[in-house]
């Protein structure tokens, strides 16, 4: 593969770093520990089926949906390999 000034394997290392970062970010968002019986934000009861399906659940479905919508603002763009980030 033609890489220009980059050394051999640099492109693959950049891809690997992007995937590793994405996996770490996804794992950090997973709940852990015992599930709560009531939502940590609105105090609504969390159904037993949800507590069994998602170990460590802390939010009801409505609050989790709102939390997930806020979290989608992250672009996932790898700034380490961007020419723009090198110019700043």
- What residues does each domain of the chain span? 10-73
And the tokens for 84?
């723009």
What is d(CA 6, CA 26) in angstroms, rounded to the nearest whole number? 29
**Beta strands per DSSP E along 1-88:** none
What is d(CA 31, CA 53) in angstroms, rounded to the nearest whole number? 12
Q: Is the dihedral of CA 54, 57, 61, 67 positive or negative?
A: negative
Share of the chain above pLDDT 70, in %: 75
pLDDT of residue 7: 79
pLDDT of residue 46: 94
Higher pLDDT among residues 84 and 38, named by residue: 38
pLDDT of residue 17: 92
What number of residues does the chain have?
88
Q: What is the pLDDT of residues 5-43, one digit of tens each?
A: 767 888 889 999 999 999 998 888 787 889 999 999 999
């Amino acid at each position: 593969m033609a890489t220009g000034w980059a050394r051999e394997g640099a492109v693959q290392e950049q891809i690997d770093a992007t995937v590793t970062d994405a996996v770490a970010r996804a794992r950090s968002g997973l709940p852990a520990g015992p599930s709560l019986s009531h939502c940590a934000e609105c105090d609504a009861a969390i159904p037993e089926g949800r507590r069994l399906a998602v170990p460590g659940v802390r939010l009801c479905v409505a609050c989790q949906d709102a939390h997930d919508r806020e979290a989608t603002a992250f672009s996932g763009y790898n700034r380490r390999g961007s020419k723009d980030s090198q110019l700043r």
